[in-house]
Amino acid sequence: MSLALILLSGFVAAACAQTARPVPLAPTPPMGRNSWNHFAQRVIDADVRAAADAMVANGMREAGYIYVNIDDSWEGTRDADGVLHSNNKFPDMKALADYVHSKGFKLGIYSSPGAKTCAKYEGSLGHEAQDAKTYAEWGIDFLKYDLCSYGNVLRKEGHGDVAAAFPLQRLAYRKMHDALVATGRPIIYSLCQYGMNSVWEWGPEVGGNLWRTTGDIKDTYERMSLIGFAQAGLAKYGGPGHWNDPDMLEVGNGGMNGDEYRTHMSLWAMLAAPLLAGNDLSKMKPETLAILENRDVIAIDQDPLGIQGDRLSAVGPLEIWSKPLSDGSKAVALFNRGELETSMTLKLSDVGLKKAVNLHDVWAGKDIAVENGSYTAVVPKHGVVLLRIQNSSH
């Protein structure tokens, strides 16, 4: 090869290295299930296997629910070398990971930067690298890292003020990220510190692929809607590889009615939020499955553009949210937070759409042609009308 050719190929290789960006972990918001909302500390190995089996049988895997995550209460004790073992509810974590992987899923686990987790199990303080190595050996693909008792360390250092010890908190989250990276295994990193110190501003810098923006969700319309609608204004912080996380889903846990669960699912999709089902997937009503598996709603959440939706208007309890999608269409949600069924009118110009549009009512599953510049729908109490709208060609 001539010198010129060698130089040229070197130049091309260098240019490619510069332009070929690696696909980030979590290019779209992670989807899967998490044990906490339904099982809490009762979760055992068999529940995790049953969830994976159910997700194959009921189509959730096909719909994109890939992460099978174990939350707090799997942790046992450390041996003389400091290696953490799972407790007797999880007799063989590697075998469980192999099982979950064999069904086409990924396995997630949970820990804390503190000495103890929120449910007072063993945390990772002082054992970060060792625990990350253990996770990688087991075949773990996702870690939720929950502040919990590290708050005590921060309180002490901040002389009573957890938020004041922020640099330390940041270091603690960065430390586990670096430990995960050092294992060489791609492990999604989920920060859980309830939105303190505006985590959305620094979550990406400590390696977070998602970060909780709020305290814990509950299976009530009041709590879900308080958390969900308070996400307005955070859109610019979410994006491919780094997502705002308003907490796991409660759909199907029984504390809300169908309209309220459709609001929950629609709002999370508009927010490009992680969709981690929190119900018992092995026992589910068809209505629950229809909500979790609605392909049009999932497509809004998982849109590859990765732009989080935001609030456009709020008039009393009536809110309109919109989210741009990769094919040039828009998702628009008409939410009625009030106590009475109400008509809501969307002026198409308000969402940057022309007078004539093709509109798909996502939950009703029907297409509607609109010619006169506005669309009026009746929205049930605590309910939603979710639309996917495309400018028409004429």
Q: Which amino acid type is present at position 359?
A: L
Does residue 36 touch ligand GLA according to CB under 6 A? yes
Q: In the complex, what is the shortest distance from the CB of residue 393 to ligand GLA, in angstroms, rounded to a whole number?
A: 46
79 is catalytic: no
Q: How many helices (H) and strands (E) does the chain have?
A: 13, 18
Rounded Cα–Cα distance for residues 162 and 185 (Å): 32
327 is catalytic: no
- The strands making up 366-370's β-sheet, listed across from edge to edge, are 310-315, 318-324, 330-336, 384-391, 357-361, 366-370
Among 178, 216, 296, 350, the one annotated catalytic: 216
Among 47, 72, 141, 146, the one annotated catalytic: 146
- Are 52 and 68 spatial neighbours (Cβ–Cβ below 8 Å)? yes
| Residue closer to ligand GLA (CB basis): 144 or 330 | 144
Give residue 324's Cα distance to chain centre.
19
- Are 275 and 65 spatial neighbours (Cβ–Cβ below 8 Å)? yes
Q: In the complex, what is the shortest distance from the CB of residue 70 to ligand GLA, in angstroms, rounded to a whole number?
A: 10
| Residue closer to ligand GLA (CB basis): 194 or 202 | 194
What are the residues facing 388 on neighbouring strands?
Answer: 331, 360
Does residue 122 touch ligand GLA according to CB under 6 A? no
| Residue closer to ligand GLA (CB basis): 65 or 335 | 65
Question: Residue holding tokens 């879900």?
Answer: 224
Angle at 205 between CA 126 and CA 226, to 5 degrees: 95
User: Is 85 exposed, middle or buried, given 0-12, 13-18 or 19+ CB atoms closer than 10 A?
Assistant: middle
Helices 150-157, 166-183: inter-axial angle, 10-degree rounding: 140
For residue 340 the two structure tokens come to: 């009475």
Q: In the complex, what is the shortest distance from the CB of residue 309 to ligand GLA, in angstroms, rounded to a whole number?
A: 23
Does residue 118 touch ligand GLA according to CB under 6 A? yes
| Residue closer to ligand GLA (CB basis): 71 or 131 | 71
Determine phi and psi for 46, rounding to 5 degrees: -65, -35
- In the list 53, 157, 216, 310, the residue contacting ligand GLA (rule: CB under 6 A) is 216
- In the list 119, 129, 168, 234, the residue contacting ligand GLA (rule: CB under 6 A) is 119
Residue of 364, 371, 354 whose CA lies nearest to 387: 364
| Residue closer to ligand GLA (CB basis): 146 or 260 | 146
Could you say which residues in the range 184-203 bind ligand GLA, by CB under 6 A?
A: 192
**Total residues at the site for ligand GLA (CB under 6 A)?**
9
> Assign residue 176 a region: left if phi > 0, alpha if psi is -120 to 50, beta otherwise?
alpha
- In the list 71, 122, 219, 280, the residue contacting ligand GLA (rule: CB under 6 A) is 71
State in Å, rounded, how far the first CA of the chain is from the last one: 58
Rounded Cα–Cα distance for residues 292 and 32 (Å): 11
Does residue 259 touch ligand GLA according to CB under 6 A? no
Q: In the complex, what is the shortest distance from the CB of residue 147 to ligand GLA, in angstroms, rounded to a whole number?
A: 8
| Residue closer to ligand GLA (CB basis): 72 or 260 | 72
Binding mask of the shown chain, residues 88 to 117, with x at each position contacting ligand GLA by CB under 6 A = -----------------------------x
* 3-state secondary structure at position 335: strand
- In the list 45, 72, 128, 319, the residue contacting ligand GLA (rule: CB under 6 A) is 72
Do strands 275-277 and 310-315 pair parallel, antiparallel, or not at all (unpaired)?
A: unpaired
Binding mask of the shown chain, residues 336 to 365, with x at each position contacting ligand GLA by CB under 6 A = ------------------------------
| Residue closer to ligand GLA (CB basis): 41 or 390 | 41
Could you say which residues in the range 124-183 bind ligand GLA, by CB under 6 A?
A: 146
Q: In the complex, what is the shortest distance from the CB of residue 193 to ligand GLA, in angstroms, rounded to a whole number?
A: 9
In the complex, the residues that contact ligand GLA under the rule CB under 6 A are: 36, 71-72, 117-119, 146, 192, 216
Q: Which residues are catalytic?
A: 146, 216
